[in-house]
Structure 1
Amino acid sequence: MDSKFKQIVLDNSDIIVQKWLDEIDTLKTSNYSSSITEELLESTNREFVNIIFSSIKNEGDTKQLKEFSEKLINLGWQLSYITDGLQVFRRVTINFILEQSDQIDTEYISELLQSVDKWVEPVIRQLVNEYSGNWENIISLQQMALQELSAPLIPVMDNITVMPLVGTVDTERAKLIMENLLDGTIKHNSEVVLIDITGVPVVDTMVAHHIIQAADAVRLVGATCILVGIRPEIAQTIVNLGIDLSKFPTKSSLRKGFIKALELTNRQIVDLHPKENIIEKIIDPLGGES
């Protein structure tokens, strides 16, 4: 910013700040401030305008801009808060300088507009870039966290693990399923792996292909894969598509699949009180009762 305009802004900072606060207050109905308290909005506005003035005094210092953009993301505010706020500040500053000047001509106005734009535009770009970069980083971390939860392999008994699948299985998720299955099968020393597709809404050719690949991979590392959660509509779809699932067992429910897994690991469920039908126990011929 031109030194003479810069000095006017700094000398009258209190007046300009109040004018900015009054005008920005009219934007409270916007999405970025409709769900927050008056106190938080006021404190954030104060912080915002302090950062704007700090950018005049300390040109090139981006630390405050970065921290402020991170705060806005954590608050869940939209990017429009930044752009609207800076545009309002540009307008308020220009109007105030014009009101204080006796020299109102085309050359002066042009010089003023260019000077303010030269100062405000880099601040807008810096804040938008910091906001966008932080947002992309948060999205990336969230995606990684969701991926870790999207294909869990859960050990339920010695040598028996379950992978419950919920939602759509796409290519990226299928890759993660494959990796988790193989790593988990070896880590837990699994003899039987149950893949539960009860929560998978659609099983088409691609989904079935991924599941078959996963089952084959499990078989190659010495374990048996059982596909459970075959609903009637899923079974009909599989038949109509001509998908061959004969290489590994399938069951309609997780309970039936678990009973089959016990059989494959030489265990069975025995009713201790057949008449009362109250208590059941699992007999493991190698390890006793459990």
Structure 2
Amino acid sequence: MEREDAQMSLTDKSLYDYIVKNSAKITEKWFTLMNGKDGSIYSKKSSSSVKGLLENQHASTIKTAMSAFLEDQQAFSDNLSNWAKDVAQSRVDLGTPAHEVLQALSITRKTIWDEIELCILMYRIPTETVLKWSSIFHCAFDQLNNQFGSMYHEFTQDRFFAQQKLIQELSIPVIPIINHIGVFPLIGNIDSIRAKLILEQVPERCLLEKISYLLIDLSGIAVIDTIILHELLKLIKVLHFIGIKPILSGIRPEVAETIEQPGISLGEVETYATLKQAFSKWGIERNDYSL
């Protein structure tokens, strides 16, 4: 930046260089303004590792926003995309609510613009240039907010679906035991969604684990009505079709009465009162499995 007479000739690129050069000072001011609640990454009690992360990312935020002043707009677009992915992923990983991040970005916007205003006053920048800079800067920051929000939502959804998948897998456990024998303990309530997952996933897992005989234990289900039994019959039918023999255990007397109703038949499926009894009949000893 060079002064010409009493006024400074300042290009967009010169402003970029000026702000990036002073990014450490801007970040330091940003830290003094941040005062998140205890437990927030923006708390003054945050660990040194978190502070180091925030320091690096804040410098990246400044550089990304100011790259909108460069002639190469593709550079700004690339910086924006990389910045949003990095910040959004880290905030999702750290469990930081989106509103806290947006508040921090609002303070970042202010601290950068404060430094731009100092430059404007120091070098007596013409009004038309000030207006142009204001438009470029605030438009760029709006894009930062929008891009962050989009990526944060995407990463949050990915994490949610991954957690849902894990929960589903844990709620539908097919456990290999010995000699191609597996156990499928049904636990908890079964609604239409879980019934569909059972029908889709249990046969697939049996094939994956090379299970030929599947012990389906019903003792963990509090209530077994005709709807559940009909879904169970569908599973038994599918297992038969793919060459897997289903065996039922944990059938209580009231369940046996339900099975006797018209339209419900287990056919030739072996049934046992308890899983222990089924193991005994199939010659499985306690040291052969771990449930």
Q: Could you state the TM-score of these two structures normalised by the residue count of structure 2? A: 0.69
Q: How many residues align?
A: 262
- 1-structure distance, mates of 2:228, 2:41: 40
1:111-168 superposed Cα distances (whole Å, 9 cap, x missing partner):
6654432121111122222222223233333434444444333332335321123344
1:8 deviates by: 5.6
- The Cα offsets for residues 35-67 of structure 1, whole Å up to 9 and x where unpaired, read as x84213311220221111220235122224323
Change (3 A) 1:236 1:162: closer
Contact persistence 2:41–2:50 (CA under 8 A): no
| Equivalence for 2:23 | 13
Segment of structure 1 superposing worse, 197-206 or 125-134: 197-206
Structure 2 portions without partners, runs of 5+: 1-10, 68-74
Task: State how far apart, in whole Å, the 2-side matches of 1:120 and 1:237 are.
Answer: 68
**Quick check: 1:82–1:127 contact (8 Å CA) kept in 2?**
no
Contact 1:66 1:130 survives alignment (8 Å): yes
CA–CA separation in structure 1 for the residues paired with 2:265 and 2:92: 47
1:43 matched to 2:64:
no
Q: For the residues of structure 1 that align with 2:230 and 2:172, how far apart are their CA atoms?
A: 17
Q: For the residues of structure 2 that align with 1:180 and 1:46, how far apart are their CA atoms?
A: 46
User: What residue in structure 1 maps to residue 76 of structure 2?
Assistant: 59
Aligned counterpart in structure 1 of residue 230 of structure 2, from 209, 233, 236: 209
Matched letter for residue 235 of structure 1: V
Counterparts in 2 of 1:237 and 1:138: CA distance versus 1, 3 Å: farther
Q: Distance in 2 between matches of 1:183 and 1:108?
A: 66
Higher RCO (CA 8 Å, separation ≥ 6 residues): 2
- Tell me, yes or no, if the aligned pair for 2:249 and 2:273 is still in contact at 8 Å: yes
Partner of 1:275: none
RMSD across aligned positions (CA): 4.1
Counterpart amino acid of 1:140? F
Q: Percent identity?
A: 23
Tell me the SS of whatever aligns to 2:190: coil
Structure 1 unaligned blocks of 5 or more: 270-279, 283-290
Say if 1:204 and 1:237, in contact at 8 Å, map to a contact too: no
CA apart distance, 1:249: 4.3
Where does 1:93-104 land on structure 2 (aligned, <5 Å)? 93-98=112-117, 101-102=120-121
Indicate the SS of the match to 1:197: strand
CA distance in 2, matches of 1:9, 1:189: 65
- 1:255 shift after superposition: 0.9
Change (3 A) 1:245 1:43: farther
> Would the alpha carbon gap of residues 110 and 160 (structure 1) be closer, same or farther in structure 2, given more than 3 Å must change?
same
Q: Deviations over 1:211-262 (max 9, x none)?
A: 1211222234455423323457x739957998835534444421123334x2
Judging changes above 3 Å, is the alpha-carbon distance between structure 1 residues 41 and 122 closer, same or farther for their aligned structure 2 residues?
same
Task: State whether residues 183 and 215 of structure 2, in contact with CA within 8 Å, keep that contact through their aligned partners in structure 1.
Answer: yes
Distance verdict in 2 for CA 1:85–1:183, change over 3 Å: closer
Instruction: Give the letter for the 1:225 counterpart.
Output: P
1:255 counterpart = 2:276: yes
User: What letter matches 2:154 in structure 1?
Assistant: G
Contact 1:5-1:112 at 8 Å conserved across structures: no
